[in-house]
Each structure stands twice: as C-alpha cells, then as structure tokens.
Structure 1
Amino acid sequence: MTGPLRLALFDCDGTLVDSQHAIVESMAEAWRAHGLGEPDPNAVRRVVGLSLVPAVAALLPGSSDDLHVAVAESYRDAFAARRQRGVLEEPLFPGIAETLDALEAAGMLLGVATGKSMRGLRSVLERHGLTHRFVTLQTADTGPGKPHPDMVHRALAETGVGPAATVMIGDTTYDIQMARNARIASVGVSWGYHEVPELRAAGADCIVDDGAQVAAAVLDLLEGKR
C-alpha cells in the first residue's frame, strides 16, 4: 500500500446489514421470557447501536439492574437460537459491497465499530464472506460502548491510522456522537434506525442515501471536498 494510511470505520447493524427483524423479534422473545409483555418495535430500533445491557435499560427505565442483565442474557439466547435454526436474516444493504470494493481500491483500510458482540459480528461477516475485508473489529465486549470514543481509539491504535485520516460511517446518533467524541469525521446513512435530521443535529459531516454513495463521501471528506 502506498501513501498515508486511511481508515473507514463502519457500524454494523443498520449500516452494513439490515438486522432489524431479528433484533426486534429476539427482544420480544426476551421480554416474554420475563413476563414483560411486548416491547414497542420502534423503541427497540431506537436503541440499536448501544451495548446490550444499556439498550435494555433504556427500554425498561426504572427496572432493576438485575432485570436488565437477565433480559439481555435472554436476548442473547434468543438471537443465538435464531442463528442455530438457520432463520437469522441479516442481509447486506444495497450498494455496500460496491462501497467496500471502491474504498479498498482507493487504498483504504476497513474496520467495524459496533454494539454487536464479537461473536455476533464475526458470524455476520463470515456469512457474507467479509471477514478478510476488515483489518480491525471493535465491539463493546471489552470496553465502553457508544457514544464513548473507546472503540475508535482502539481501532486507531491497532491500525496506526491517525484521527484526521479516519471516517466513521453509521446510521445512529450514537455513531455520530462517538465520532465527534473521538474527533474523527463521520458519514451518516439514511437507511438505518435514526432519522436524517437527528444525524445532522448530532454533527454528521455528511449524509448519504444509498450504500453505493458511501465511498465517494468518505474520500471527499478525507480530501477536504466536503
């Protein structure tokens, strides 16, 4: 690779893959396991991107920490069971494969920073044949989750890339806030779980409406064209 190192850091759920059906259904199973009825699907989608226990806590304000942990564990079990039954659907969003090709062709390193567990992240990347594409995989399994900048800091340390040469791509305000906290640029995507006005208000440097537009947006930001 020639030239300075540059890194495109992607969120997973809602950015790379469409996993909302599996997430909503698994959370509903977790709630039923604890006699909690049915969660609001829109509320569940709103917390995608947070680490699991904080996400459950946001859905069940006022409940005990023990219940939050127990529901999170039931969610993990339900999600894993869907995977084992072969009914887990997490398709790539349109244009994402082309964007990964274009960024690699431009000499960029690729990484992931996600609220998903490392087990879940590796599983979805393997299913789509993408594991070899990403040089750094960051989850909240071993540190603070979004919007804390820890995952970005770890990705930079692993790759040797500086903040000024790194762009975060994500669909939620948690992604954009994490990028701002880490002092890196960010691209918001419109097809995920938070609305475009929210992404703008959170400080996204630009917004794209199609997966195939991501590469150009990332490169433009790094080259000072946006």
Structure 2
Amino acid sequence: MSGVVFDLDGTLIDATLDIHACATEMLEAEGLAPLSPETIQGFVGNGLGKLITHCIEASGLEDSPARHKRMYDRFHARYETAVEHTVVFPGAVDALEALKAEGYRLGLCTNKPEGPTHGVLRHLGLERYFDAFAYGDGPYPRKPDPAPVRHIIDQLPVRRVLYVGDSEVDAATAQAAKVPMALYTRGFRKTPVEELYHDAHFDDWSELPAIAARLAPRPE
C-alpha cells in the first residue's frame, strides 16, 4: 500500500491572515505594535513556540520564560478558533479526492498544534480525507525532525510514501525521513526551488496524482 503525507500551512491552506490576527492581538496585549502579515508569514513553519520567539525578537524584547508562556497562551487561546480568513489553495481538494479514489492512504504532518489543526480542518471540510495525523504538540520532536513522518507511516501503515510540502522545513523533513518529496511552489518557500531537496515540484494541484503515481506507485 502507498501513502501521501501532506504539510498543512502553505501547502494545503493559506492561514496567513488568521495567524496574523492572532499575533496582532497577542502583541497588542503586551503593548506592542503589530508586525506586518509578510513578517508573520516568514515565522510560520517551525511550530507555535518558534513563532512566538520570533515575534518577541522582532519587537526588540528579551525572550524570558514568563513572557514567552504568557504570549504563547494568549495566542493559542485565540488560535483554536481562528478560521475566518483561512482558505484552501485552488485545486487541493480535487487532488485529495483523486488520490483517495486511487486508493492512497493520506496523512497530515504539521507543526500546528492539534486543537487548531482539527479546528481549521473541520471548518474547511478537509478532516475526512486523512487517515493519520502528526502535530506540533505531539509526543515527538517537531519537523524538520523525521519523527512525525515516521509516526504517520506507522499509523497508516504503508510501504511507499510521498511527502508533499511547500517550505524549507518540509524539504529538510522529507530528506531526514528519507522519503521522496513533492514541492508545492506557491506556498511559503523563500529559497529557490533548485536549492531545496525535492524529487518533483508543482504549482498546479492537478499535477499531484501523476507525481504520486511516479514517486509512490501503488502495488498492482
């Protein structure tokens, strides 16, 4: 059996505006000026704890444990229901439908915490596509450590797997897990495509089923 493991933010969905709204509320509660959406987007991908650290540093503050926890808790409380402006990238749902119809098992591997992950998946109608999950607050290291991908592979279970992501973190994760990588080029990536680990890249979701058939073929 074969599987496809997806990143979430920047790959399947664009949650930039909702993440920015949470960060703005958090910063204003500390008496700090908001950061731009582009700045906040650059902090996405390494988990919520790292995002809070980057916000504190970008605001010129010292990252003390007490301040970090207070800001983390405020962000997380708002983040649980922050779905108003989040959208699915065009064509992604059709690709998920096609892969399921072809018999692939699908997993979701995100550094987003479990609560916000399922909140946004339910809101967007995506939860039903996935057979296994790994989260940023799970009992294993976060991406780019390969442990979350291996956790999903163990849950599915599958003999072949393709990892689909959009960022430097995703490329490093797939490389560490020693699995083929399909890079979605319209996500949050900052590095040129040719400098990132990947076996295929695409900017149109209709291309993904054929990529999966080539890199993680289903047994006959």
* TM-score normalised over the length of structure 1: 0.86
> Normalized per residue, which structure has more helix?
1
1:188 aligns with 2:174: no
The partner residue of 1:168 within 146, 149, 163 is 163
Matches within 5 A, 1:29-48: 29-48=25-44
Deviation per residue, 1:72-104 (Å, 9 max, x gap): 222112323545xxxx22221111111012111
For 2:65 and 2:33, the matched residues in 1 are separated by 19
The partner residue of 1:146 within 120, 137, 143 is 143
Deviation per residue, 1:184-216 (Å, 9 max, x gap): 11111122111361x442312221111222222
* TM-score normalised over the length of structure 2: 0.88
User: Is the 2:24–2:35 contact (alpha carbons within 8 Å) kept by the matching residues of 1?
Assistant: yes
1:55 aligns with 2:51: yes
For 1:159 and 1:123, the matched residues in 2 are separated by 22
For 1:188 and 1:74, the matched residues in 2 are separated by 33
For 1:91 and 1:63, the matched residues in 2 are separated by 32
If asked which structure has higher relative contact order (CA below 8 Å, sep 6+), I would say 2
Q: Which secondary structure state, in structure 2, belongs to the residue aligned with residue 110 of structure 1? A: strand
For 1:19 and 1:212, the matched residues in 2 are separated by 22
Q: Which amino acid aligns with 1:53?
A: G
1:92 aligns with 2:115: no
The partner residue of 2:117 within 94, 118, 121 is 121
For 2:130 and 2:194, the matched residues in 1 are separated by 27
- 1:47, distance to aligned residue in structure 2 (A): 2.1
Q: Which secondary structure state, in structure 2, belongs to the residue aligned with residue 140 of structure 1? A: coil
- 1:150, distance to aligned residue in structure 2 (A): 1.3
Q: Which secondary structure state, in structure 2, belongs to the residue aligned with residue 178 of structure 1? A: helix
Q: Which secondary structure state, in structure 2, belongs to the residue aligned with residue 60 of structure 1? A: helix
Q: 1:103 corresponds to which residue?
A: 99
User: Is the 2:81–2:116 contact (alpha carbons within 8 Å) kept by the matching residues of 1?
Assistant: no
User: Is the 1:14–1:192 contact (alpha carbons within 8 Å) kept by the matching residues of 2?
Assistant: yes
- 1:40, distance to aligned residue in structure 2 (A): 3.7
Closer/same/farther in 2, CA of residues 110 and 35 from structure 1, 3 Å limit: same
Q: 1:65 corresponds to which residue?
A: 65
**How many residue pairs were aligned?**
212
User: Is the 2:14–2:87 contact (alpha carbons within 8 Å) kept by the matching residues of 1?
Assistant: yes
User: Is the 1:188–1:207 contact (alpha carbons within 8 Å) kept by the matching residues of 2?
Assistant: yes
For 1:134 and 1:108, the matched residues in 2 are separated by 10
Closer/same/farther in 2, CA of residues 43 and 131 from structure 1, 3 Å limit: same
Q: 2:12 corresponds to which residue?
A: 16
User: Is the 1:95–1:211 contact (alpha carbons within 8 Å) kept by the matching residues of 2?
Assistant: yes
Percent identity over the alignment is 25
- 1:24, distance to aligned residue in structure 2 (A): 1.2
Q: 2:79 corresponds to which residue?
A: 79
Deviation beyond 4 Å, 4+ runs, structure 1: none
Closer/same/farther in 2, CA of residues 126 and 78 from structure 1, 3 Å limit: closer
For 1:59 and 1:169, the matched residues in 2 are separated by 27
**Over aligned residues, Cα RMSD in angstroms?**
1.8
